[in-house]
Amino acid sequence: MTKLIQTIVDGLGVGSTYALLALGISLIFGVMHLVNFAHGELITVGAYTSYFFFLHGGSWWWMPVAILASAALASVLTELVAFRWVRNASPFTLLLTSFALERLSHALWQIFISSKQRTFRKPKWVFNQFELLGIKFEVMDLVTIGVTAATMVVTAIVFKRTLFGVAVRGAAEDFDAARLMGVRANRVISGAFAFAGLLAGVAACLILMRTPSAEPTLGSDWLLKAVIAAVIGGLGSFTGAVMGGLVLGLLETLTRAYLPDVATGWDKFAPAAVYILIAAFFVIRPDGIFKVSHAERV
């Protein structure tokens, strides 16, 4: 029982990080049909930003602000230098453009910093433990789940209550109609990128507090999982992105913790099990948990 609860808490921890990233990916997909493979690079940007500030006497008290700001700025910048120029291209072209940016980012960090890992200080309290109902938790677990929940609430308020949020949702529904209603395309898209950047920044904070290090390919592994999570949830659906992230996180930790016991003799296939489940899921529900109908007029 203890093991199960701890596994679930672990899963929710990883899952909320996926969820934050997936939410950004889903948001960008909603406004311009781009599956942004460069989204994970925002984590890398956040990591090098903290590395830089810690070299000059940074503190974790204000580091999250720097990480969030740099990720949002970088996100808006990618739209300005690349995505703006292919805005009406096919989803395939858009996706490959984001791939190109991802490659470029890898190369540039190596050229200007190094290919080696750079580590910095972590907050002292991260791995402190406390006991609740006889089960040991790390402070970071609580922080991760709490911060994610708070971010989700803020996101929900922004998209339900603010003019910006309504404009983005309108644009996601039908961009041309939204434009005719006076929504400014450039402003909405830049805003969406900034917001997605902030979400990635929050994810970056959570990742970096646990493992305070920067390397050029840091974002790529997270990115793939986040894309899978976003598609599991149903691209373009915000609730879906969150659900997809949590489901993927739980699936990963649960199969890792329990599958080797269940399937003796087949244990060599256990690491592949998550991916087989993911593939099976997409066969059964190609549109994800929440299907977003992009009412295409025919």
Partner 1 sequence: MGAIGQRLGRSTIASAALLAVVWALTTAYTQTGGSSRVLLISEMLSNFILVLGMQVFIGNTGVLSFGHMAFAQIGAYATAIVAIPVAAKAKSLPDIPFGLADTHMGPVAATIFAVAVTMVIGAIFGIAVCRAGGLAPTMITLAALFVVDQVVKNWGELTRGAGGLTGIPIIRGNGWLWVGALVALVVAHQFQETRIGRFSIATREDELAAPALGIRLFSSRYAAWVVSMGLMALGGSLRAQSLGNVNPKQFTLDAGILILVMMVVGGMRTVSGAVLGTVIITAGNELFRQLGDPQRWDIERFPDLFLGATMLAVMILRPGGLLGDRDLAGWLRRTMYRRRMHEPVEPNPGSDTLHAKSIIVHFGGFTALDGASLSVRPGEVVGLIGPNGAGKTTLFNVITGLVDETDGTVMLGATDLTTAPPVLVARAGLARTFQNLRLFKNLSVRDNVALTSAVAARHRSHRLRPDVDDLLESAGLLEFADRAAGTLDYGNQRRLELARAVALAPEFLLLDEPTSGMSDTESLAMVESVRAMAAKVGAGVLVIDHDLGFITRISDHIVVLAEGQVLAEGTPDEVRANPAVAAAYLGSQA
Q: Given the complex with partner 1, which of 62 and 275 has the nearer CB atom?
A: 275
SS3 annotation, the chain: CHHHHHHHHHHHHHHHHHHHHHHHHHHHHHHHCCCCCCCCHHHHHHHHHHHHHHHCCCCCCCHHHHHHHHHHHHHHHHHHHCHHHHCCCCHHHHHHHHHHHHHHHHHHHHHHCCCCCEECCCCCCCCCEEEECCEEEEHHHHHHHHHHHHHHHHHHHHHHHCHHHHHHHHHHHCHHHHHHCCCCHHHHHHHHHHHHHHHHHHHHHHHHHHCCEECCCHHHHHHHHHHHHHHHHCCCCHHHHHHHHHHHHHHHHHHHHHHHHHCCCCHHHHHHHHHHHHHHHHHHCCCCCCCCCCCCCC
Neighbours of 161 (CB within 10 A): 10
Q: Given the complex with partner 1, which of 5 and 273 has the nearer CB atom?
A: 273
Taking the complex as a whole, the smallest distance from the CB of residue 115 to partner 1 amounts, in Å, to 5
Taking the complex as a whole, the smallest distance from the CB of residue 280 to partner 1 amounts, in Å, to 8
Q: Given the complex with partner 1, which of 157 and 272 has the nearer CB atom?
A: 272
Q: Given the complex with partner 1, which of 28 and 101 has the nearer CB atom?
A: 101
Q: Given the complex with partner 1, which of 66 and 86 has the nearer CB atom?
A: 86
Taking the complex as a whole, the smallest distance from the CB of residue 259 to partner 1 amounts, in Å, to 12
Taking the complex as a whole, the smallest distance from the CB of residue 129 to partner 1 amounts, in Å, to 32
What is the contact surface with partner 1 in residues (CB under 8 A)? 35, 82, 85-86, 89-90, 92-93, 95-97, 99-108, 110-111, 115, 216, 224, 227-228, 231, 235, 268-272, 275-276, 278-280, 282-283, 286-287, 296-298
Taking the complex as a whole, the smallest distance from the CB of residue 1 to partner 1 amounts, in Å, to 29
Q: Given the complex with partner 1, which of 98 and 148 has the nearer CB atom?
A: 98
Taking the complex as a whole, the smallest distance from the CB of residue 209 to partner 1 amounts, in Å, to 27
